[in-house]
Every structure is written in C-alpha cells, then in structure tokens.
Amino acid sequence: MKFSLKHIVWIVIAVLCGTMFFSYTDSLYRQYQREQYKKSLETEIISLQNQRTKLEKLLDYVQTDAYKELKAKENLGQKLPHEKVVVIPPHFSTPENLPTEIPLSERPPLAQWAVYFFGE
C-alpha cells in the first residue's frame, strides 16, 4: 500500500489534532486538580483559624486569676483566707458503704402508711 502525499498530510493533521486534544484535556485535568487542592487548603485554613480562635480564648482564660486560683486549689491544696476546707472521709464516697434501706422511722409519714397497709 502506497501512501500519497495527501494521506501523509491527513495522518500528520490527525496526529497533531490528537496531540493537541490530549494536551488540552491534560491541562484541564491538572487545572481541576489544582482547584480541588485549593479548596482543600481553604477548608484547612478555616479549620486552623477556628482552632486558633479556640486556643486564644483558652489562653485568655488560663491567664485569668480565676484559673490560677482554681489550679492552686486543685493541685497545691491552697485556699483563700475566707474559705473553709471540708474533708470528706473516703468511706463516704463509695456507694457500697452507703445504707441501701432507710429505716421505717426515718421515712416520710405517707411512706410509713404505705408500708403499714401494703407491706414492703
């Protein structure tokens, strides 16, 4: 099969058009990727700005006297001069040591009558 000059020109034109088409689509795809990356960065910037705002508020709170006083009370056992400290023994804080049933004489009158008529 012989190729004439006309066929060669058409093949060259087809190759050039194909190359231009693939180059254009590649360019469009890369531009799409850049836009997606830009959107992800903008989202991350907003997230970091929100985090920064929260941390600035936390820093402002940590620098207040109320926070310093709270931490001094919690960690160092300090108190203000007009405050009183109440120590609760550890056996009161456990639920298994608490009484499970209230004696009948200490119940409200209506509950006592209910026990009298209906039983426990």
DSSP letters spanning the chain: -PPPHHHHHHHHHHHHHHHHHHHHHHHHHHHHHHHHHHHHHHHHHHHHHHHHHHHHHHHHHHTSHHHHHHHHHHHH----TT----PPPGGGS-GGGS-SS--GGGS-HHHHHHHHHH--
Binned at pLDDT 50, 70 and 90, residue 107 comes out as confident
For residue 35, pLDDT over 60 is answered with yes
Mean pLDDT in residue range 10-23: 95
pLDDT at residue number 109: 87
- CA-CA distances (angstroms) from residue 91 to 5, 46, 67, 100, 116? 105, 50, 30, 15, 34
Binned at pLDDT 50, 70 and 90, residue 89 comes out as confident
What value does the CA radius of gyration of the chain take, rounded to a whole number of Å? 40
Predicted TM-score (pTM) of this structure: 0.48
Q: How far apart are CA 10 and CA 1, in angstroms?
A: 16
How many angstroms separate the first and last alpha carbons of the chain? 111
Q: Which of 76, 115, 27 is nearest to 68 (CA)?
A: 76
Average pLDDT, the chain: 86
pLDDT at residue number 116: 84
Lowest mean pLDDT among 11-20, 27-36, 62-71, 85-94: 85-94
pLDDT at residue number 62: 92
pLDDT at residue number 99: 61
For residue 82, pLDDT over 70 is answered with yes
Say how far residue 18 (Cα) sits from the centre of its chain: 50
